[in-house]
Each structure stands twice: as structure tokens, then as C-alpha cells.
Chains A and B, each alone.
Chain A
Amino acid sequence: MAGYLASEDVTATIERGAATAPVLKPTPKKPTPSGKRGGFLRSSNGKKAVMAVTGAAMVLFLILHMLGNLKIFLGKDSFNEYAEALRTLLEPLAPYRTVLTILEAGLVVAVVLHMWAAISLARRAHHARPVKYVAKKSQAKGYTTHIMRWGGLTIVLFLVWHLLDLSFGVVNPKGYDSAPADRMIAGFDLSRWWVTLFYVVAVVMVGLHLRHGIWSMFQTLGWATRFKALRPVAALVSAVLVIGFLAPPLAVTFGVIK
């Protein structure tokens, strides 16, 4: 391993004679002990753990969200009833929309923490390579980092639109005071094909994000060593989610659901 004996203005003597280059003064770097408060979240591994846990929460949410969406195939009423049921969960015990609001708050926290960890890790990475390579060739299908970072950004932009369209109805032809199923059907009407297109692109991005993300989550939490089939399983879950999310809007756009 490399080691340069170093003191100021001295040429290092390494085992085989004098090195010709002047030597750098070592800059001993003291770690922030991760046991200290806040130390864990400042460490790169701590941030990764935050990404993994919040990512897991969002994957679970996506699975439920997808199953809910598929209710549209059982009819508009079934879909509307499901939407209502979400709002009236635990109703006699808790006021209207209590459970849903708690879940929504949890999701917002997960999204924010996930983005915080991603941004601070990206900044770390940026500082770790101040001088770029003149030539750099990926040896591991190098799409991953780009898909995760730029794909993540695409997903956030989509999320904003998606909430404005189908949750708040601001940019939806039916507006806020309409039944969820009507908003969905009007929103993905053939005349608004570009909305469907945007949706398809975003969902595919989510799929690519998860193909790496789901596996990565197990790796980060240290559970990937004993489970070799993890990569194909992650790809399968992602594919199922993509198909499940694309089916309703495409069915609407192409007039299968009216």
C-alpha cells in the first residue's frame, strides 16, 4: 500500500531510495464519531440507511396505490368507494380523513428525507472527485447513477403535476369537487394524450429507479449477502409496478374505460 513518509520540505525516503517528488504534508483527518448525536446522520452510511428505509416505505405505498388504482377496472363505483373508504378509515373512532392524513404526512416526511439524503450524498460525491477524468468508461452498465439522480428529479417533477392533477384537481378538467374516478377518466382523455405520455415516461422512470433501488436498499441495510436472487426479484417487482400503474391510464386513453 502507498505511504509517503512525510514532513515539511523533505523528500520521502521510500524503501527503494529517494522519491523524486516533493511529498505532501499529511493532513490527519479526525472522524466525527458517529456515536455522537447527529453523527450517524452525518455519516455516509447513515444517510444511505435513511435512503433505504424511506425508500422501503415509499415502495410499500406504491404497491398499495397500484392495487387501489386497479379498482377502476371493477367499475367507477368500486374506485370511488375505495377512495371514500381511505378517507373514512377507522371512522367512528377517528374523525374523517385522520388515518389518511397521517399516512400522507408520513409520505411527505419520507420524500423529504429521501431527497435530503440523495442531495447530500451527491454533494459528497462531487467533492470527492474535483478533477474529472478526460476519458471514463463505465464497466458496470453505468446507467445507474444517472437513472437514480436524474430519474429521481423527473419523478419529483411528475409528483407535483400528479398531485395538482388528480389529488387537488387544479389542472384537471373536472376540478376539485368531482368524483375521483371522473377525475381519472377526464384526466387521461385522448384529447389530453400528452398527459398520458408524461405519465408513461414518469412511471417507466419509477420502474428503472426501483430496479436499482429495491436491490440497493437490501444491500445498504446489509441483508443482500445471503439472498442471491435479489436483483431479479427487484426487477420483477419494478416490472409489476410499472404494468400495474400503466394499465389504468392507458385503458382510459384508448377508450377501454369510459
Chain B
Amino acid sequence: MNLTLKVWRQSGPSAPGKMATYRVEDVSPDMSFLEMLDVLNERLILSGDDPVAFDHDCREGICGMCGMVINGVAHGEQRATTTCQLHMRHFEDGATITIEPWRAAPFPVVKDLVVDRSAFDRIIQAGGFVSVPAGSAPDAHSIPVRKEDADDAFDAATCIGCGACVAACPNGSASLFTAAKITHLSLLPQGQPERLTRAKAMVDQMDAEGFGGCTNTGECTAVCPKGIPLDTIAQMNSDYLKANAK
């Protein structure tokens, strides 16, 4: 396959960015999107140019490091797929592909397609934990959990913190991420003691980071590689309102 790429290039956090156009030839349809970028980077390096910086780690869809807006869609148009799991066979030969970083004030660009998602870490630090005595592992079934709750909590827990929800949201809101983390813990017995303080602390931190508010458009869940449902946001809202009513 031969492709034309329009890629956001930005040399540093405060440098102005712009779109640059590259031709990539002989791309195999079996390559992943990141492998295709590797090919581009090899050629850029050989020609003495600066390679395109992008984040990645596991390349198997579980770590949440990768992520770019491909043709206007976070992680590309393939549903429930991270960028590293997106394959070139989903693109037409000769296509032009635009590639941009996540765009949100709380996710400043570090370089090219790499953004700093530490804001997510700070949201987690604010309350995304349970306080339990550590030590030897407890018995697996010592605390019973309803099957439905276990399933919903698990679904929420599959969030890999990639940030696609923020990138896709017209308001730049981190509600889906924060809600996934809150729901994951608030459905389980272990999460109950800190349930309300957690919701409050995490939502307040989300606001402090400068993310936008949720308008329930559903853009986030549509691009989420893990299909985190909007229900989690209702759960977060409910916990937050209860916490404030106290």
C-alpha cells in the first residue's frame, strides 16, 4: 500500500505545531498502525530527519499508552480498538490519513503526537484507591459480591486510561475516565467506606485539572477502546451529588 500521511509535528511543549505531509510506500496491509509509523520513522531517520514521536508500550491493546486521532477519530474509525491494534487493512491503498495528538488543555503536547496525561494520574491519586490493610492475600470468597455488580465493576475496571474519551469529547471532558474509575470501586464492597469522599475528591480534581464538563453527547463511549458505557457517568454523578448533599 502507498499512503499519504498528514502528521502533526510539534518540536516541544511551547513550540507552535503544524501539519506535515509524508509519503509512505510499500506498507503491508498486515502491519499495525504503529508499525506503519515505525516504517515512516526509519525512513525519516535515514534521511536525517527527526522521527515522529508517539507513545506506545504493550502494542497489544492493554496498557493505554498509545493513542492518536486518526482521520478525526480517536484511535481511528475501527470501534473498540486501540491504535496499536488497528491494522492497515482497514485503510484504502492510496489513502490520505491525518494524524493528530489528543487535543486538550490538560493534556499538553510533549512532542509531536505525545501528550502528557499526568492529569489522569492526579485524578487517580485524589481518590482512585481503596484503603485496606495490606498483607497476605485474603481468601478469594471471603467477601461476597453480587454477580451483576462484579460484572459491572469489571467492565468499568477495563478502562486502560488511554485518554481517547477526552480527545473525542467536544467539551474536552474526562468524565468517562473518571466515572469508570469511580464506578469500578463504588460497586464493590471494598470500595464502600470511601465511596462518597472518593467521588468528590476525584471529580473536584478533574475540574481542577481544567477538563470540560460532560454534556452527555456520547462521543467518548463511541471511541473508547474498552467500550466503557455512559452508565458509569450516571453512577459518578449520583455518588457526587450524594457526597455533596452530606
Q: Which residues of A contact B (CB under 8 A)?
A: 1-4, 6, 16, 19-24, 26, 28-35, 39-40, 42-49, 121, 124-125, 127-140, 142, 144-145, 148, 212, 215-216, 218-225
Contact = CB atoms under 8 A, between A and B. Distances in A.
Given A26-B118, A128-B172, A140-B217, A222 B241 contact: yes
B238 A44 contact: no
Find the residue from B103, B114, B207, B209 having the highest chain A CB count within 10 A.
Answer: B207
B105 A128 contact: yes
A225 B231 contact: yes
Contacts of A35: 200, 244
B227 interface: no
B18 to A, nearest CB: 10
Contacts of A47: 213
Given A48-B213, A221-B237, A224-B231, 12 more contacts: A1-B124, A21-B53, A24-B108, A31-B207, A33-B200, A43-B204, A44-B214, A45-B203, A132-B103, A137-B73, A139-B222, A140-B221
B13 A24 contact: yes
Contacts of B19: 134
A43 B203 contact: yes
Interface stretch (B25-33, B64-72, B83-91, B129-137): B64-72
Interface of B is mostly: mixed
Given A31-B204, A140-B217, A220-B237, A125 B170 contact: yes
Given A1-B121, A48-B214, A133-B72, A31 B111 contact: no
Smallest CB-CB A-B distances: 9 pairs: A222-B238, A128-B172, A44-B213, A137-B72, A31-B204, A125-B171, A2-B117, A139-B222, A128-B212
B216 interface: yes
Interface in B127-178: 160-161, 163, 168, 170-173
A129 B241 contact: no
Contact of A121 (B6, B206, B213, B219): B213
B71 A44 contact: no
A145 B217 contact: yes
A1 B212 contact: no
What is the size category of the interface that chain B forms with chain A? 35 or more
A148 B218 CA distance: 14
Contacts of B17: 131
Given A44-B212, A45-B237, A128-B106, A1 B64 contact: yes
Contacts of B12: 21-22
A20 B200 contact: no
Contact of B234 (A21, A127, A223): A223
30 contacts: A1-B120, A1-B160, A2-B65, A2-B116, A2-B117, A2-B121, A3-B118, A3-B121, A19-B110, A23-B116, A29-B208, A44-B206, A45-B237, A47-B213, A49-B237, A49-B241, A128-B105, A128-B106, A128-B212, A129-B105, A131-B103, A133-B72, A136-B72, A137-B72, A139-B223, A144-B215, A219-B237, A221-B241, A222-B236, A222-B241
Contacts of A39: 204
A43 B199 CA distance: 13
A129 B104 CA distance: 5
Contacts of B188: none
A137 B71 contact: yes
Contact of B208 (A19, A30, A131, A224): A30
Nearest to A5: B118
B213 A124 contact: yes
A75 B233 CA distance: 48
A28 B123 CA distance: 11
B190 interface: no
Contacts of A224: 230-231, 234
A134 B104 contact: no
